Amino acid sequence: MIILSQKEIIERMEQLKGEETLKFIIPEIFGGGVAIIGLNPNKKGKKYLLRLGNEGNETPYWETDKAKDLAKWVADRLGNLI
């Protein structure tokens, strides 16, 4: 189990390139499923995109330019990096 701090998640987000993503398993107590953070492929949108759902069936949830916001969301839900 790899639980990253908010700061560690931000550092990894800032290193993302192209279609690379960070994938986290969210514990059942917070709804379960996976949270995937990556660069937003929509060039006219915000820089980062958070997708939620089950493995292979994720839907866009949140677009933002602030890595801190998404990192806090995942860290607060004890996301386990996979």
Per-residue pLDDT, 1: 78
Angle between helices 67-76 and 6-14 (to 10 degrees): 140
Residue ranges per domain, the chain?
A: 6-81
pLDDT digits (tens, 9 = 90+) for 41-79: 887 889 999 999 987 789 999 999 999 999 999 999 999
Predicted TM-score (pTM) of this structure: 0.91
Per-residue pLDDT, 15: 96
pLDDT digits (tens, 9 = 90+) for 7-23: 999 999 999 999 999 99
12 to each of 53, 77, 80, how far by Cα in Å?
Answer: 21, 17, 14
Q: Exposed, middle or buried: residue 38 (CB in 10 Å: 0-12, 13-18, 19+)? A: middle
Per-residue pLDDT, 42: 83
